[in-house]
A and B are shown apart, each in its own frame.
Chain A
Amino acid sequence: EIVLTQSPGTLSLSPGERATLSCRASQSVSSSYLAWYQQKPGQAPRLLIYGASSRATGIPDRFSGSGSGTDFTLTISRLEPEDFAVYYCQQYGSSPPVTFGPGTKVDIK
């Protein structure tokens, strides 16, 4: 089973700053089958990035994903007030078919 580790657990930043979130896999993720989701309190998750670096429909270009193999990164170039949330990475290529990371909370400093 592929285990995903996210760091840091919490990231305290101010609006306008750059956020860099890390997701590390215990084994190589097949074909970069790695996604990132944003979740706000009381809401369902929202897909941000799939295939490690492709933005989902309607996602602003301040969100970008990169990486391959076992190391992946989500970058938010300039934080907007609505970006403060919890972010999860997900691998969807290996058995068990899907695993999620524990999440990184981005909160206001």
Chain B
Amino acid sequence: EVQLVESGGGLVKPGGSLRLSCEASGFTFSSYSMNWVRQAPGKGLEWVSSISSSSSYIYYADSVKGRFTISRDNAKNSLYLQMNSLRAEDTAVYYCARARTYQGYCSSTSCPDAFDIWGQGTMVTVSS
């Protein structure tokens, strides 16, 4: 079964750090671009970051640039999001999502692909 399972969420104080993980199974993880998307309570979806299959291309939303770092370990079938200098507005459910296309194309500006597999999400709460 194709599956993504996030972990690492929790309660953290403003200015603190957290590292999210996403473990993939059921597909060749190393051949797909991966993404993080978040959803604040009662709000819509917000794209956070993307990484190409070999980590050659990385992209961030302006709202997290300089604070968040996406990475992956293809040997461990895992995607990560290191979140530093957290703010109250970072409070959200964080989803990892797979890009749809096997060995999909990426460029310096994007990996143009829809997200076909999503994890169940992990909640991050930033509060004092």
Contact = CB atoms under 8 A, between A and B. Distances in A.
Interface of A: 30-31, 33, 35, 37, 39, 44-47, 50-51, 56-57, 88, 90, 92-103
B113 interface: yes
A23 B114 CA distance: 16
A95 B113 CA distance: 13
Interface of B: 35, 37, 44-47, 50, 59, 61-62, 95, 100, 109-116, 118-121
B47 A100 contact: yes
A101 B59 CA distance: 19
Contacts, number: 71
Given A31-B112, A88-B44, A98 B35 contact: yes
A102 B112 contact: no
A46 B115 CA distance: 9
Nearest 5 interchain pairs by C-beta: A97-B110, A50-B114, A98-B47, A44-B118, A35-B114
B44 A96 contact: no
B110 A47 contact: no
19 contacts: A30-B112, A35-B114, A37-B45, A44-B121, A45-B37, A45-B95, A45-B118, A50-B116, A51-B114, A56-B116, A90-B115, A92-B114, A96-B59, A96-B61, A97-B59, A98-B110, A100-B45, A100-B47, A102-B44
A90 B116 CA distance: 12
Contacts of A99: 47
Contacts of A102: 44
A39 B50 CA distance: 21
B47 A96 contact: yes
A88 B100 CA distance: 17
A99 B71 CA distance: 21
Contacts of B113: 50, 92
Contacts of B111: 97
